Amino acid sequence: MEGILCCIIKEGRNMFSQQTGPIGIFDSGYGGLTVFDKIRQAMPEYDYIYLGDNARAPYGQRSFEVVYRFTRQAVLKLFEEGCQLVILACNTASAKALRSIQQLDLPEWDAERRVLGVIRPTVEIMDRISTTKHIGILGTSGTISSQSYSLEIGKMFPHIKVTGEACPMWAPLVENNEFDSPGADYFVKKHLDHILSVDPRIDTLVLGCTHYPLLIGKIKQYLPAGITVLPQGEYVAESLIDYLNRHPEMNRRLTRGGECRFLTTESATKFSDAASVFLNDPIEVEQISID
């Protein structure tokens, strides 16, 4: 039995022969493009593959088990495409799947490759951004109910008071190109009013879902003055640069040709049309299947 197990693990370790390749960026849909854009601006020389599981988005209200299964399939696909490092540019996947992938899957697939999330880099900057030390997290139902932000902040900055607000309609509004509609006004105002009534001392609101930067105009419109709204992209990019400085062995594995590929599980045309809202240049997109 031990022999068989060894063999399976050994096979797993040999699963990906490629030892250099691009950075993979994954999200349930388009939201991760807000993170990808900041990373690419900060590190334009690297190669990237973006994968959006648009056919199954949104993930926000899906169970732990389903988010883990879908995210695992996506990471596996990015590894098969040669990615050496994958960023889960999705808070829901970071909250529900990151730890299991790091602890259970990576050692079997390839112990040298890495998967990183977006929650930790966001939490790291909170103490320097907030004056009142009262912070609000806006996220999907999955991210808020996982309590990932409160737990991480509690470990790093126990003096910060955290209030979470699930905004289940916000990602679907963005995913369906309705982020500038009267419906968006209604749902944005509703959740901002609620979180500020729960803790009126909040001075920083974290956009804890990578789709939400598309709603930032409306969010600012309905907030009282003096509240900072924090999208994550630039902090994730800063943190990635810092990570690669601290891990030259990973940095050496990443190819640099300035190339970007875009993969989606939905229609390629739909993705490239919608992506033009997030990115300035037109892009070519490939439709793939990951399940």
Binding site for ligand DGL (CB under 6 A): 27-29, 31, 57-60, 90-92, 140, 143, 171, 209-211
Which of 7, 83, 167, 209 is flagged as catalytic? 209
Distance CA 59, CA 29 (A): 9
Contacts 24+ apart (CB under 8 A), 246-253: 247/114, 250/84, 250/85, 250/114, 252/20, 253/19, 253/20, 253/21, 253/84, 253/85, 253/112
Picking from 128, 89, 130, 77, the residue whose alpha carbon sits closest to that of residue 240 is: 89
Q: In the complex, what is the shortest distance from the CB of residue 189 to ligand DGL, in angstroms, rounded to a whole number?
A: 20
Which residue, 59 or 187, has its beta carbon nearer to ligand DGL? 59
Distance CA 75, CA 102 (A): 11
Which residue, 21 or 164, has its beta carbon nearer to ligand DGL? 164
Which residue, 53 or 110, has its beta carbon nearer to ligand DGL? 53
Distance CA 38, CA 270 (A): 22
Concerning whether 209 is annotated as a catalytic residue, the answer is yes
Q: In the complex, what is the shortest distance from the CB of residue 212 to ligand DGL, in angstroms, rounded to a whole number?
A: 8
Q: In the complex, what is the shortest distance from the CB of residue 97 to ligand DGL, in angstroms, rounded to a whole number?
A: 11
Residue the block writes with tokens 């990443």: 254
- What is the helix (H) or strand (E) element at residue 268, kind and residue range? helix 268-278
Which residue, 109 or 187, has its beta carbon nearer to ligand DGL? 187
CA–CA distances in Å: residue 28 to residues 1, 17, 62, 102, 257: 38, 27, 11, 19, 26
Concerning whether 90 is annotated as a catalytic residue, the answer is yes
- What is the helix (H) or strand (E) element at residue 248, kind and residue range? helix 248-251
Q: In the complex, what is the shortest distance from the CB of residue 30 to ligand DGL, in angstroms, rounded to a whole number?
A: 8
The β-bridge partners of 49 are 24, 261
The one-letter code for the residue type at 199 is: D
Which of 83, 90, 167, 260 is flagged as catalytic? 90
Which residue, 84 or 143, has its beta carbon nearer to ligand DGL? 143
End-to-end CA distance of the chain: 29
Are 50 and 83 in contact, with CB atoms under 8 Å apart? no
Q: In the complex, what is the shortest distance from the CB of residue 31 to ligand DGL, in angstroms, rounded to a whole number?
A: 3
Q: In the complex, what is the shortest distance from the CB of residue 35 to ligand DGL, in angstroms, rounded to a whole number?
A: 9
Which residue, 130 or 140, has its beta carbon nearer to ligand DGL? 140
Q: Which residues are known catalytic residues?
A: 90, 209
